[in-house]
C-alpha cells in the first residue's frame, strides 16, 4: 500500500492550507446549521441535527490528536466523521458544503487510490443531497460538485508531490554536503600526512642519518685515533641538538631553525653546508655561492621550501653520490629565485626512482616537487651515470593569482 499523500513532513505552505481547511470546515458547519435552523423552525428533527452537528465538530477537533500517520485509529476516526456527515446531509442537504474540507482530510489521511474513492463517494452524496432541493434538471447540481472535487483533488495532489520532490532534493543536498565535507576531511588528512612526511624526511631523517654515519666513523677510529673519534661524537651531538630544535619548531609549525637563526636563506644555506662538511667523514667539500639580490621580498614559505630542498639534496649527495665536491648556488633574479645543487659524484638515471639501501623508495625528489608545486615553482634534475648530478629548483617571486605564498 502506498503511503498517504500527506505523510511527508509539513511545510509552511501545508500548515497554512491545513489551518485554512480546518477553519473552513467549522465555518461551513456553523453556516449550514444556522441555515437549517432559520429555514426549518420547529422541525422535529432539529434536536437530532443539532446533536449531530455538535458531535461532528467534536470528532473533527479530536482528529489532530491522532497524528497524521496512517493508523487504524485514524482510519476509524475518519470513517465515523464521514458517517456523521453523511447522516447530516441526508437530514439537511445544506451540510453538503462541508464536503470540501473533508476532501482535504481524506487526502491527508488515506493512500491516493483510497482517498480518490472517498472523494468520489462524498461527491456523489453531495450531488444526491443537492438534487433533493433543486431537482436533477439543474446542471449546476450535476456538474458543480464534481468540478469542485476535481479541482480540489488535483491541487492537493500536485502540491503534495511538489513538496515531496522538494523534500527529496533537500535531503539529497544535505547528503551531498555531508559527503563533500567527509571528502574534504579525507583530503585534508592526506595532505597533512604528505606534509608531515616531507618535513620528517628533510629534517629529522637527514639528521639521524648524519648522526649514524658519524657514530659509525667514531667507532672505527676509537682505538686508533681517539681525538678524531671524539670530534665525530661532538659533531653528532651538535646535529642532535639542531634536530631537537627543528623537531620543536616542527611541532609548533614555526620557521625552520636555520632560517630563524641565520636571518635569511643565504645564511641558512651556509649553516646547512657547514653541518654537512662537519658530518662528512670522507672529506666532502661543500661550497655555497649567492648571486644577485631579489627585487621582491622572498616570502617565508619560499625560503623554507628552498632550504628543505637544499637539505634533501645535500643529504642525497652525502649518502649516495660518493662525490668529492658539491656546490650550492642561490641565484636571485628579477622575477624568480633559483637554487642549484651540483655535485661531481657517480650520478644516476633520473627516470628511475631510486631505492634506498633499506628497500624504501626515496622521498626526497617527490617531496621537493610537491613543495614547489604548491608555490608555483618547478624542480628539475640533470644527471647521468658517472657524470654527477644537478638539482635545480625555481620559484617565481610574483606567483599567479591563487598560488599560495
Secondary structure in 3-state letters for the chain:
CCCCHHHCCCCHHHHHHHHHHHHHHHHHHHHHHHHHHHHCCCCCCHHHHHHHHHHHHHHHHHHHHHCCCCCHHHHHHHHHHHHHHHHHHHHCHHHHHHHHHHHHHHHHHCCHHHHHHHHHHHHHHHHHHHHHHHCCCCHHHHHHHHHHHHHHHHHHHHHHHHHHHHHHHHHHHHHHHHHHHHHHHHHHHHHHHHHHHHHHHHHHHHHHHHHHHHHHHHHHHCCCCHHHHHHHHHHHHHHHHHHHHHHHHHHCCCCCHHHHHHCCHHHHHHHHHHHHHHHCCCCCEEEEEEECCCCCCCCHHHHHHHHHHHHHHHHHHHHHHCCCEEEEEEEECCCEEEEEEEECCCCCCCCCCCECCCCCECCHHHHHHHHHHHCCCEEEEEECCCCCEEEEEEEECCCCCCCCC
Same domain, residue pair 211 and 353: yes
Query: Which CATH number characterizes residue 249's domain?
Result: 3.30.565.10
CA distances from 280 to 89, 115, 321, 350 (A): 108, 90, 12, 25
pLDDT tier for residue 1 given thresholds of 50, 70 and 90: very low
Q: Which residue has the higher pLDDT, 140 or 324?
A: 324
Residue 253 has pLDDT above 80, yes or no: no
Cβ atoms within 10 A of the Cβ of 101, count?
A: 22
Torsion of CA 25, 28, 32, 34, to 10 degrees: 110
Q: Which residue has the higher pLDDT, 98 or 5?
A: 98
Mean model confidence pLDDT for the chain: 79
Residue 245 is assigned to a structural domain of this protein = yes
Backbone angles phi, psi at 69, to 5 degrees: -75, 150
pLDDT the model gives residue 380: 92
Same domain, residue pair 296 and 369: yes
| pLDDT 10s digits, 172-208 | 888 888 888 788 878 877 776 776 676 676 667 777 7
pLDDT the model gives residue 401: 42
Same domain, residue pair 132 and 207: no
Same domain, residue pair 193 and 47: no
Residue 31 is assigned to a structural domain of this protein = yes
pLDDT the model gives residue 14: 67
Residue at which a domain ends, from 137, 164, 198 = 137
Same domain, residue pair 128 and 75: yes
Q: Which residue has the higher pLDDT, 17 or 329?
A: 329
| pLDDT 10s digits, 83-113 | 888 888 888 887 887 888 888 888 877 888 8
Residue 144 is assigned to a structural domain of this protein = no
Sheet holding 325-332, edge to edge: 285-291, 325-332, 336-343, 389-396, 378-383
Residue 175 is assigned to a structural domain of this protein = no
pLDDT tier for residue 326 given thresholds of 50, 70 and 90: very high
Distance between CA atoms of residues 92 and 71, nearest Å: 31
pLDDT the model gives residue 288: 92
pLDDT the model gives residue 6: 53
Give the structural domain span for 275.
180-396
Place of cell 432541493: 133
pTM greater than 0.85 (yes/no): no
Q: Cell numbers for 384, please give them.
A: 647521468
State the total domains in the chain: 2
Q: Across 236-250, 264-278, 376-390, which has the greatest mean pLDDT?
A: 376-390
Residue 170 is assigned to a structural domain of this protein = no
Residue 394 has pLDDT above 90, yes or no: yes
Same domain, residue pair 103 and 234: no
Residue 242 is assigned to a structural domain of this protein = yes
Cβ atoms of 74 and 64 within 8 Å: the answer is: no
Cβ atoms of 312 and 364 within 8 Å: the answer is: yes
Q: Across 26-30, 159-163, 210-214, 254-258, which has the greatest mean pLDDT?
A: 26-30
pLDDT tier for residue 395 given thresholds of 50, 70 and 90: very high
Same domain, residue pair 132 and 189: no
Same domain, residue pair 195 and 105: no
Same domain, residue pair 118 and 203: no
Same domain, residue pair 119 and 229: no
Q: Cell numbers for 340, please give them.
A: 642549484
| pLDDT 10s digits, 46-91 | 889 889 888 888 888 887 777 666 778 888 888 888 888 888 888 8
Same domain, residue pair 251 and 367: yes
Pairing of strands 389-396, 325-332: unpaired
Distance between CA atoms of residues 220 and 217, nearest Å: 5
Q: Cell numbers for 249, please give them.
A: 619548531
Distance between CA atoms of residues 290 and 292, nearest Å: 7
Residue 390 is assigned to a structural domain of this protein = yes
Percentage of the chain modeled with pLDDT above 70: 83
Residue 172 is assigned to a structural domain of this protein = no
Same domain, residue pair 96 and 229: no
Q: Across 241-245, 249-253, 264-268, which has the greatest mean pLDDT?
A: 264-268
pLDDT the model gives residue 94: 79
Exposed/middle/buried for 317, CB within 10 Å: 0-12, 13-18, 19+?
A: buried
pLDDT the model gives residue 330: 93
Residue 226 has pLDDT above 80, yes or no: yes
pLDDT tier for residue 260 given thresholds of 50, 70 and 90: confident
Mean pLDDT, residues 331-343: 90
pLDDT the model gives residue 359: 42
Q: Which residue has the higher pLDDT, 203 or 270?
A: 270
Q: Cell numbers for 19, please give them.
A: 489551518
pLDDT tier for residue 29 given thresholds of 50, 70 and 90: confident
Amino acid at each position: 500500500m502506498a503511503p498517504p499523500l500527506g505523510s511527508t513532513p509539513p511545510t509552511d505552505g501545508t500548515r497554512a492550507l491545513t489551518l485554512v481547511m480546518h477553519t473552513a470546515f467549522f465555518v461551513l458547519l456553523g453556516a449550514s446549521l444556522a441555515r437549517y435552523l432559520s429555514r426549518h423552525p420547529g422541525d422535529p428533527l432539529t434536536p437530532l441535527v443539532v446533536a449531530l452537528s455538535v458531535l461532528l465538530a467534536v470528532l473533527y477537533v479530536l482528529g489532530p490528536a491522532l497524528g497524521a500517520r496512517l493508523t487504524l485509529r485514524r482510519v476509524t476516526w475518519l470513517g465515523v466523521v464521514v458517517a456523521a456527515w453523511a447522516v447530516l446531509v441526508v437530514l439537511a442537504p445544506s451540510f453538503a458544503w462541508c464536503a470540501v474540507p473533508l476532501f482535504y482530510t481524506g487526502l491527508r489521511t488515506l493512500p491516493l487510490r483510497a482517498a480518490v474513492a472517498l472523494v468520489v463517494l462524498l461527491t456523489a452524496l453531495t450531488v444526491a443531497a443537492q438534487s433533493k432541493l433543486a431537482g436533477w434538471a439543474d446542471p449546476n447540481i450535476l456538474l458543480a460538485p464534481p468540478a469542485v472535487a476535481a479541482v480540489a483533488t488535483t491541487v492537493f495532489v500536485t502540491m503534495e508531490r511538489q513538496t515531496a520532490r522538494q523534500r527529496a532534493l533537500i535531503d539529497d543536498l544535505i547528503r551531498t554536503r555531508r559527503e563533500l565535507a567527509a571528502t574534504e576531511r579525507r583530503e585534508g588528512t592526506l595532505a597533512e600526512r604528505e606534509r608531515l612526511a616531507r618535513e620528517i624526511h628533510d629534517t629529522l631523517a637527514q639528521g639521524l642519518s648524519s648522526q649514524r654515519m658519524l657514530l659509525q666513523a667514531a667507532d672505527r677510529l676509537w682505538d686508533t685515533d681517539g681525538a678524531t673519534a671524539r670530534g665525530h661524537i661532538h659533531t653528532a651531538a651538535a646535529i642532535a641538538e639542531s634536530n631537537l630544535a627543528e623537531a620543536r619548531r616542527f611541532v609548533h609549525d614555526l620557521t625552520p631553525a636555520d632560517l630563524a637563526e641565520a636571518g635569511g636563506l643565504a645564511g641558512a644555506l651556509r649553516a646547512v653546508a657547514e653541518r654537512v662538511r662537519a658530518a662528512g667523514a670522507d672529506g666532502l667539500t661543500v661550497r655555497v655561492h649567492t648571486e644577485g639580490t631579489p627585487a621582491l621580498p622572498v616570502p617565508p614559505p619560499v625560503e623554507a621550501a628552498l632550504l628543505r630542498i637544499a637539505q634533501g639534496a645535500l643529504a642525497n649527495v652525502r649518502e649516495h653520490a660518493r662525490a668529492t665536491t658539491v656546490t650550492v648556488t642561490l641565484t636571485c633574479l628579477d622575477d624568480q629565485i633559483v637554487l642549484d645543487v651540483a655535485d661531481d659524484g657517480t650520478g644516476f638515471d633520473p627516470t628511475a626512482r631510486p631505492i634506498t639501501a633499506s628497500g624504501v623508495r626515496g622521498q626526497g625528489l617527490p617531496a621537493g616537487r610537491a613543495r614547489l608545486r604548491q608555490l608555483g615553482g618547478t624542480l628539475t634534475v640533470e644527471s647521468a651515470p658517472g657524470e654527477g648530478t644537478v638539482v635545480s629548483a625555481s620559484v617565481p617571486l610574483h606567483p599567479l593569482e591563487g598560488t599560495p605564498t
